[in-house]
Structure 1
């Protein structure tokens, strides 16, 4: 053990010694600390034994500090002042949203939607700072030190706390130019004759999911382009390269203005959910709570989000 190690007992002895000095007597200190006079006396003797030094001269009428005790008390007082500051720092952090909030989110969702709302969040809570890292990989919150993750899934991690932000619809779509040249598939099997633009990690087994007569159906798809970013696939589809399956949050503007047309809506699978997930914590940080509540408010409180306004025009 290092020579400068301070044990919990010694720290407690420092606090007790300071209380005796400031109270002016063992009796007064005992009353202040809600201890017996004998308990205070024994603790003081134990502290002097640890230090191998006499701290107080005590008689039946008065007590006075020794030279060593006077120097030691000054250091004890500074330690206790710092301890008080530590407690106040914790109180401040748990009283209001302050400090750095580390968030991880998928690239497309974070770029399109989280980033646009960060100014308002920080305006509401000026004591906060946000470190938003965009990545499509599954981040380990504990291992990598993140406070919060945004995930799009229908199978949340049971070891994490999850709060729903908004439903995420997946839409098969293509540009009018592509459909005019190659025709419009009327059922999932019709995709077999089309150029399909795919996101490999979201196309397990090289197939897109559908509901056919209420039952899950995996339709094999293939095409000239594979990319690992929804926004990049969006641009390729707008260029008329083929049919794409995108989350509606990435293509809502294009679906609304007609530059992309939704396909096979009668066969669409149920929406997934955008979730805010964080590690279980009995004392949830105010900055995490503030961010989650804010995002729920802005994204629809688990109901229909603003980016699905295109559905009104689609008759859904």
Structure 2
């Protein structure tokens, strides 16, 4: 009997766990059985999918392509079975969503109760963190990303835009003075992130050109919400998106700095999702919901 879907499930679990033994434990098989099954797939396909060593398993180019196909096929099978078993087309099932901590805290959490009320049969698996994750490996259905999209293997739908601003609290400015030129930031405590970004320098418009200034003297942090809170406490200067600190600026708890030097520093906001022939209904309704509720960001 042809059981290629079962083989795909085993191979996908090996990739996601990073070892034969971990996959075997989850699937209630022996490590040798899992290893033999992967070797059988490789033999049938006539290509190496995994580079083995005593320390780790590494996907080959062909292995990555096969894994991506396996995930799409397994998702289609799961969706088809759920549609038949429930006997209806209502959106249902587990929806895995990944979003940055600031955007999730200030834009997504306030509207989640309405989404859950509309679609009670969707189980939301929501992760808020600023670290980049491998969406394919983590089986994320929808992720919300700010800035330039570097991964062309995913589809994207625009959700809006947000300008970035250099901000500080009135208490900080009273204690350390207000910088009136980008070069003056060298004498101030400026927060930055401790994870890799496209560019760590801050952009400014000087003499009709966009220039970048290296900043420091403050702390290195792993998420924008912590940066906002420490900025509100008067511990330094930050560069944050208006979707994040717009309310603080309106209330006067933060003040925008160097606005005349802002180069129109705008980030695009996208919902990204996997390329697949059949988009699950739960993914479609969630993205449509985001477009509806986040219209104020456009």
Please classify the TM superposition score into its range, dividing by the shorter chain length. Answer: 0.5 to 0.7
* Alignment equivalent of 2:104, drawn from 110, 120, 127: 110
CA deviations 1:261-305 (Å, max 9, x no partner) are 0011222243111210001122211111111111111111761xx
Asked if 2 retains the 8 angstrom alpha-carbon contact of 1:210 and 1:217, the reply is yes
Residue equivalent to 2:259: 265
Q: Distance in 2 between matches of 1:142 and 1:301?
A: 30
229-238 or 197-206, which deviates more: 197-206
2:154 counterpart residue number: 160
Q: Deviations over 1:133-185 (max 9, x none)?
A: 12222222222211111111223422111111121221101111221232222
- After superposition, residues 241-280 of structure 1 pair within 5 angstroms as 241-268=235-262, 269-280=264-275
Report the equivalent of 2:21. Answer: none
What secondary structure is seen at the aligned counterpart in 2 of 1:293? helix
Deviations 1:210-264 (A, max 9, x none): 2334422111211132211212222221222221111222222211101100011
* Residues 1-316 of structure 1: pairs in structure 2 closer than 5 A: 5=1, 86=81, 89=84, 95-201=89-195, 207-268=201-262, 269-300=264-295, 303=298
What RMSD, in angstroms, separates the aligned Cα atoms of the two structures? 2.6
Aligned to 2:25: none
3-state SS of paired residue (1:143): coil
TM-score, structure 2 as length reference: 0.67
Q: Normalized per residue, which structure has more helix? A: 1
SS in 2 for 1:236: helix
Partner SS state of residue 169, structure 1: strand
- Alpha-carbon distance change, 183 to 290 in structure 1, aligned in 2, over 3 angstroms: same
Question: SS state of the match for residue 234, structure 2?
Answer: coil
Helix, strand or coil at the partner of 2:217 = coil
Query: In the superposition, relative to structure 1, how do residues 257 and 205 fare at CA in structure 2: closer, same or farther (>3 Å)?
Result: same
* Alignment partners' CA distance in 2, 1:261 and 1:203: 25
Q: What is the alpha-carbon distance in structure 2 between the residues aligned to residue 171 and residue 262 of structure 1?
A: 6
Name structure 1 gaps, 5 residues minimum. 9-84, 304-316
Q: How many residues align?
A: 222
Classify 1:262/1:162 alpha carbon distance in 2 versus 1 (closer, same or farther; 3 Å): same
Q: TM-score, normalised by structure 1?
A: 0.64
User: Quick one: structure 1 residues 206 and 291, their matched pair in 2 at CA, closer, same or farther if it must change by over 3 Å?
Assistant: closer
- Give yes or no for contact 2:201–2:213 (8 Å, CA) kept in 1: yes
Larger Rg: 1
Deviations 1:16-45 (A, max 9, x none): xxxxxxxxxxxxxxxxxxxxxxxxxxxxxx
Decide whether the 8 Å contact of 2:145 with 2:269 is kept in 1.
yes
Aligned to 1:79: none
Gap regions ≥5 residues in structure 2: 5-79
